[in-house]
Amino acid sequence: MFRYWVGILSAVYLAGQCNANYCRDANLCCPGRDSSCVVQKAHQNAIIEDLTDKPCYCDHACLKLGDCCPDFRETCGVLDCVVSGWGEWSDCDTTCGSGSMVRSRRVMQAPAHGGRHCPSLVQRRACQAHHGCLPDSDIPLREESAMILPGGLSVSRHSNETVDIRKNLRLRNPDDPESNSHREYCVQFEVTKVSKACHTDSDYKPLREGGTVCVMCEAAALRRDLNWRCGGHGVSGHSTRFYALVAPHCHGKWIRAKENPDRKSDCCSNPDFIFV
């Protein structure tokens, strides 16, 4: 509204001189925001009944304010930026561990006279590469994420096989899971970071920053492709991530404190969680 009245007052000299509200007729093209760069067809005191009689502007700001004269773009040479399509993604910039990939596009037409600016010309995304890792490298293990379930499900799984929500995981292991029970093990983790969502679910309340939890790798979750271990069991001395499978937004980080393969230990007999 302020611009409307300023434009009317500053354009009195144009009243009666322009036969139509066009930049070409008024010979106006102004950079930036200029409220005096206005074309007014009707007299400043006239009651506007036809929308075409309303004042219009020939400055760059009219592109954002939506009050340009009909011919502003053509008369004043407004050009929006035009970019090409995205190119191919580059190779991962690392051969072992986390890295990034890049793709780009180029400017086909630069913006001019207030036209729309160019968007980003470069995109990046994360990638993982393990083909260049040394045989004894622990980087792939550090970057695994553990998926966990409450330890109470360990008992229910044996008492009622129909409620085992990890039943499909046995497709990874064509052998009878019970034949691999001797491979089961337990891991203790020190929790270093945990989201607030974990505290709203009673099954995940043991996940407290600074606390220690025990996680059991049962036969049903053992993976042959990981040399008969569970995914995400971490590396001693390095922080890894965990996610709660049935508790949305419950996640965090922990450090493997101790691995105890003795199934008779307190940790294995009453685990806080089980790997998935």
The three-state DSSP-derived secondary structure of the chain is CHHHHHHHHHCHHHCCCCCCCCHHHHCCCECCCCCCCEECCCCCCCCCCCHHHCCEECECCHHHHCCECCCHHHHCCCECCEECCCCCCCCCCCCCEEEEEEEECCEEECCECCCCCCCCCEEEEEEEECCCCCCCCCHHHHCCEEEEEECHHHHHHHHCHHHCCCHHHHHHCCCCHHHHHHHCEEEEEEEEEECHHHHHCHHHCCCCCCCEEEEEECHHHCEHHHCCECCCCCEECEEEEEEECCCCCCEEEEEEEEEECCCCCHHHHCCCEEEC
Of residues 268, 242, 272, the one with CA closest to residue 254: 242
Radius of gyration of the chain (CA): 34
What is the C-alpha to C-alpha distance for residues 85 and 154, in angstroms, rounded to an integer? 52
Burial 252-261 (b: 16+ CB within 10 A, else e): bbbbbbeebe
Cα gap 269→11, rounded to integer Å: 87
Q: Record the tokens describing residue 73, joined without a space.
A: 């773009």
d(CA 2, CA 41): 19
C-beta separation of 270 from 160 below 8 A:
no
Q: Find the distance separating the first CA and the last CA of the chain, reported in whole Å.
A: 62
Q: Which sign does the torsion angle of CA 262, 263, 268, 274 carry?
A: positive
Q: Tell whether the torsion through CA atoms of 64, 68, 71 and 77 is positive or negative.
A: negative
Residue 190 has a pLDDT of: 93
What is the per-residue pLDDT for 2?
A: 44
Distance CA 172, CA 180 (A): 13
Domain ranges of the chain: 2-75, 82-129, 139-275
Residue 54's pLDDT is 79
Half-sphere exposure of 258 (CA within 13 A, CB side): 10
> From first to last of its 276 residues, what are the pLDDT tens digits of the chain?
445 444 444 443 443 344 467 899 889 999 988 888 998 876 655 565 566 667 889 999 999 888 899 999 999 999 999 999 999 999 998 887 778 999 999 999 999 988 999 999 999 998 878 777 766 666 667 778 899 999 888 754 454 455 555 555 544 555 555 567 788 888 899 999 999 999 888 889 899 999 999 999 988 888 887 888 888 888 888 889 999 988 889 999 999 886 655 555 677 788 999 998
40 CB neighbour count, 10 Å cutoff: 24
Q: Which two tokens stand for residue 25?
A: 């007729």
Quick one: fold of 82-129? TSP-1 type 1 repeat (2.20.100)
